[in-house]
């Protein structure tokens, strides 16, 4: 399957996906990595693996949809079948979601619907939850509101800082995201309203 990864930052989830592909745990290829941040380390990771990597500067476009139209055109040109958001820190426009409905997934560092949006790890820590976690979900027009594909919990420890908690969360993300991508590729996900049912076998 032809995958595209959109990332704004460090790209450790991108790396986990590339590694899982190399271990043949994901039956797909990352065709392109796109970032809205020029010096995102994710672009560097793509380069190292010989994957096409593109920086698109959001400031060159008048609004979110104009920016998204450029990305959508790039994805269509490359016949992308699944769009993977991996630390992509922008809300997609309804235009983008419509064009790839049911074919965009995101990873979020909390147990949604708790702590959506930016700084999910910090919000969970400040709130004082004893358990947080990771959510992989389909993307709809809302902010982290789409049907949930996989979740796993992560304990919050008394001496956690945002950094230590995020590290623990990252380890779970790197296991969960490749699994979710492979479930999608194997067509083992079926939507019943908001619920995403996993088809056995």
User: Tokens 């509101």 appear where?
Assistant: 145
Interface with ligand GAR (CB under 6 A), residue from 173, 178, 183, 189: 173
Q: Where are the alpha helices (DSSP H) in the chain?
A: 12-22, 41-48, 64-77, 94-99, 120-127, 162-185
- Binding map of ligand GAR across residues 9-38, x = CB under 6 A, - = no contact: xxxxx-------------------------
The token pair that represents 21 in the structure block: 């592909």
Angle at 114 between CA 113 and CA 120, to 5 degrees: 115
Interface with ligand GAR (CB under 6 A), residue from 28, 109, 147, 178: 109
**Distances in whole angstroms, Cα of residue 138 to Cα of each of 24, 37, 127, 134:** 23, 23, 26, 14
Interface with ligand GAR (CB under 6 A), residue from 6, 18, 100, 108: 108
CB nearer to ligand GAR: give 12 or 53: 12
If one asks whether residue 86 binds ligand GAR (CB under 6 A), the answer comes out as: yes
177, 107 contact by CB (below 8 A): yes
If one asks whether residue 133 binds ligand GAR (CB under 6 A), the answer comes out as: no
85, 106 contact by CB (below 8 A): yes
Interface with ligand GAR (CB under 6 A), residue from 107, 139, 165, 196: 107
Residues with active-site annotation: 108
- Binding map of ligand GAR across residues 143-172, x = CB under 6 A, - = no contact: --------------------------xx--
Contacts to ligand GAR by CB under 6 A? 7, 9-13, 86-87, 107-109, 120, 169-170, 173
């Amino acid at each position: 399957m032809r995958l595209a990864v959109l990332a704004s930052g460090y790209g450790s989830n991108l790396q986990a996906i590339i590694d899982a592909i190399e271990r043949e745990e994901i039956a797909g290829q990352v065709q392109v990595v796109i970032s809205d941040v020029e010096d995102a380390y994710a672009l560097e990771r793509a380069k190292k693996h010989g994957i096409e990597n593109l920086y698109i500067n959001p400031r060159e476009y008048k609004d979110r949809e104009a920016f998204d139209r450029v990305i959508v055109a790039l994805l269509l040109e490359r016949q992308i079948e699944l769009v993977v958001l991996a630390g992509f820190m922008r809300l997609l426009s309804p235009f983008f979601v419509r064009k790839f409905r049911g074919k965009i997934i995101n990873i979020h560092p909390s147990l949604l619907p708790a702590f959506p949006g930016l700084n999910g790890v910090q919000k969970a820590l400040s709130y004082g939850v004893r358990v947080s976690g990771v959510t992989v979900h389909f993307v709809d027009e809302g902010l982290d509101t789409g049907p949930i594909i996989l979740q796993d919990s992560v304990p919050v420890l008394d001496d956690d800082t945002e950094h230590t908690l995020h590290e623990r969360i990252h380890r779970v993300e790197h296991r969960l995201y490749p699994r979710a991508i492979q479930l999608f590729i194997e067509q083992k996900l079926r939507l019943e309203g908001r619920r995403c049912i996993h088809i056995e076998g």
